[in-house]
Structures are given as C-alpha cells and as structure tokens.
Amino acid sequence: MKNKRTVVVKIGTTSLIKEGKLMENILVSLAQKIKDLRESHNFVIVTSGAVSLGAHELGYQSRPTSMKKLQVASSVGQIRLINEYQAIFSKYKLKIAQVLITKNLIDDREQFINTTQALNELLSQNIIPVINENDIVATEELKFGDNDRLSAIVSIIVNASKLLIVTNKEGLYDFNPDKNSEAKVIDFIQYDSSQLTDLIPISEHGEGQGGFSTKIMAAQMAGFSGIPTQIISWSEKNISKAINGEQVGTLILESENKIRLKKLWIAYGMRPIARVIVDEGAYLALKNDASLLFSGVIDIDKKFNINDGLEIVFDENVVAKGLAKTASDDKTKNGILIHKDDLIIL
C-alpha cells in the first residue's frame, strides 16, 4: 500500500442512473479499469444514486424533498445500489466494502480518527470502500448535503493523490453550457482562483442533490488540502487519462503546502461551538503563524470550554478555526486562547 497512489472516484447520479435504472455499463467499465490499475493504485468510490433508485422502485414521480421520504427512498435504493456494485465487481475478483458515513463521524475528533483508521485498513487489505452518506439516520444538521463535499472529506482522510469527480458534463465551463452554445471547457484552474469562485453562480446545471457549485466547493476543499481534483465526463478512456495525468475535462490544481491531518479536521470536520471576534493586530499575528492570545479578542458570541471548536472572525469574516486551550469563563483571561498547533488559517 505504501507504494500505491490512492484515487477517490466520485460518481454522480446523472452519470450512474438513467430513468430510475442503474447504468450497469458504467460499473463494468469502472471495475475493468480498477482491475487494470490495482498494482499501482488504491481506489475509493464515493457513489450517489441510492435515492434515485429507491424513488423509482417506490413509484415516486420525482426526487422526494421531505426528510422522511428521502430516508425511505435511500434505504430502499442503497440495497440495490451496493448489490449491483458487488455483483459486477466480484466478476473481476475485486472486493468491496460498503461504508455509510454521517457528518457526526467527522465532527467528533475521536470518531474521525476511527473512520480514518478503518478506511486505511480496508485499503491495506486491497478492499475498495464504496462510500455513501447514511441518509436513513442523518438529520438536517448532521448531513453533508451532497456527495461532492463528502468525496473531498474522504480524499483528505485517505490522503488521496487525486479526486476524480465523474459527471454528465465534460468539465467546468466558462459559461453555463445549457444556456450558451459557445461555452468552452476550462482545462486548468487554480483551486484558490477568484475565477473558480466566480463560476459558482453560473454552474447550476445537472440533477441530483449536488449541482456544479458543490463540485467547485469540493475542489476548493481538496485543493486547500493539497489534493488536485479532475472533473470529467464518464468514459473508460477519460478515467485512464485522468489517472495517468493526461489532460481531460477540468483539472483544479492544488496548493503546494501540505497540511497535517489534524488541522484539516479542524478546517473541515470540527463543529464550531462559538465565534471569537479578534482585532486587527491579532489577525495579522495569526497570518504570521502565531497563536491567538486572549489580549487580541474583542468579543465572543457564546460560552465555550477547553477543546471546544471555535471560529475566529475578523472584519465580519471567518478567517480561521481552532480548538480552545482555555475556557471562555477563565477569570484570568491571560495567555493563549488557541495554540498555533491547533489553529488553521482559512
């Protein structure tokens, strides 16, 4: 496993499901490609499609919007979905494992570590994790909301070399291709480029829970974490090109800075308990890799305890996150509030 690169493949509903039926040829092609590359790569699959399959089987005319119906459709469709993966992948002697994740497994530091260890153990045994959100137990506040951002989190957990987002479009476009026939695919773009952020309002095309805006957000999360993202349309040829580093679709380039897993958890997993408003001096010190001192705090919006998650706000923007070293009711109000080792600038 040490010499293998890990690729996370996220397959969207529009690529996998057509008129309520699973496109078996997609999974066949994917299994073939994984088998061909198993000696040099590990694979993790983040799959959508359970809700659509379940809704079709239950006779729903469209994707349900209520939480209860979504949970029912997901629970019915999830069995069908994983059975299809199992039936097809077993023909190529590929072992899979179903992994259902809820956001609380990521919010909690200990459970985040357990999830990380479990996924890495599966990979060490040449087992392919097939991941989806556990909709049947997820509530609104404990949902990722879409599998695009879930795939970015998974990429961070397994320290992926690349995140591939497979969709029904050729990549990211400079204009909405559904409204502008002259729209062109963007070949390369930096994860923190203002151009990428500007694409979010014009990127709402496609079905399923996540539109292209969530794919952009996922790419920004992965890029910040040092992981490139490639958005491609489905074909075995495209998968091969993307894994081999060839140009296809849109490649969102990553940051060159490698960030420790704990800090990435603080950035994207940790659930903040309170907000801390800081002055300009504290903000500038944070940007220079300093700890946050109580002396730089202007106000807090809620009480918090030691090791609680905090958002740091300057000029009405969340500029950093961290873990409290001291409780908010500490009467001394001296010294360090968040140590720099437990803090990340966003």
d(C-alpha 12, C-alpha 251), whole Å: 18
The boundaries of the domain holding residue 302 are 271-345
pLDDT digits 0-9 by tens, 114-171: 999 999 999 999 999 999 988 776 655 556 667 899 999 999 999 999 999 998 888 8
Q: Would the pLDDT of 108 be above 70?
A: yes
Do 139 and 288 lie in one domain? The reply is: no
Which CATH number do you get for residue 41?
A: 3.40.1160.10
Residue 333 has pLDDT above 80, yes or no: no
Per-residue model confidence (pLDDT) at position 207: 43
Choose the final residue of a domain: 205, 234, 262. 262
Phi-psi region of 170 (alpha: psi -120 to 50; beta: other; left: phi over 0): alpha
Among 209, 240, 262, the domain boundary falls at 262
Distance from the Cα of residue 98 to its chain's centroid = 17
Is residue 258 located within the same domain as residue 280? no
From 200, 232, 262, give the residue that closes a domain. 262
Same domain (yes/no): 222, 278: no
